[in-house]
Amino acid sequence: MSESLELKTELDVWKHLYTQGSVSDAARKRIWRLFNELFPEGHKFSLRETARFCADQLEQGKVSTDLYEVNVLRIHPDALRFLAQYGLDYSPYDWKDAAPQEWELQPESQRCIENSFLFLQRTRLKTGNTLCMVEGITLSPCVPCMDHMWIARDVTSTTAIDWSIYAVSKWTRYLGFPLTLNEYNECCRLITPDRFAGHLLFENIYFPIVQKRLEEIAMNRLAAH
């Protein structure tokens, strides 16, 4: 969350937004105002044009780190165009009833891959094998545009289950491409065939390695529908 306060964990952010009386009320009111200014259509707003714009800006060397999370500079322009063409628009999961702020286990800051894997592996035991990994871009009044990973119930669901930023997910727009766990593991193996390691596939150094496979997956899904 882009606050000047010392908020080191997602739980810190949640406490700031929900447990400090009038201070929290004012903070949420300000975020809602910024959200409505940024996204006049609310959660119907699509980040497809944002993805295309970022791709053009990256190729022209015009992306400013004042406006974008530093890691967006590491996204391959063709990955952004892939998202614009094949990505799904996601709306945030409502965490209210789940109360993640009460969980003993909490997400780690700037660890969206690890957080998503941990959440997926623990939740799959209860829900079956349909949950999938989603990589894409996010944008909100709280978080600059960035390469990010979250979870969806299956490859057709358009609800972003984003445990990494559960405190501010409700004000976040998402554009992402879903992969089953097997598909994601397959792509990671293309990058590091001698060992398994999680990767943000859209980064400059990785996307050329996995682009062909991702396009095959995308085309196969289109053909299936």
What pLDDT is stored for residue 4 in this prediction?
45
Model-level pTM? 0.92
3-state secondary structure the chain: CCCCCCCCCHHHHHHHHHCCCHHHHHHHHHHHHHHHHHCCCHHHCCCHHHHHHHHHHHHCCCCCCCCECHHHHHECHHHHHHHHHHCEEEEECCCCCCCHHHCCCCCCCCCHHHHHHHHHHHHHHHHCCCCEEEEEEEECCCCCEEEEEEEECCCCCCEEECHHHCCCHHHCEEEEEEECHHHHHHHHHHHCCCCCCCCCCCECCCHHHHHHHHHHHHHHHHHHC
Q: Can you give the pLDDT of all 225 residues of the chain as single tens digits?
A: 444 457 889 999 999 999 999 999 999 999 999 999 999 999 999 999 999 998 998 888 777 665 555 667 889 999 999 999 999 999 999 998 899 999 999 999 989 999 999 988 777 655 567 889 999 999 999 888 899 999 999 999 999 999 999 999 999 999 999 999 999 999 999 999 998 889 999 999 999 999 999 999 999 999 987
What pLDDT is stored for residue 88 in this prediction?
98
What pLDDT is stored for residue 3 in this prediction?
44
What pLDDT is stored for residue 65 in this prediction?
60
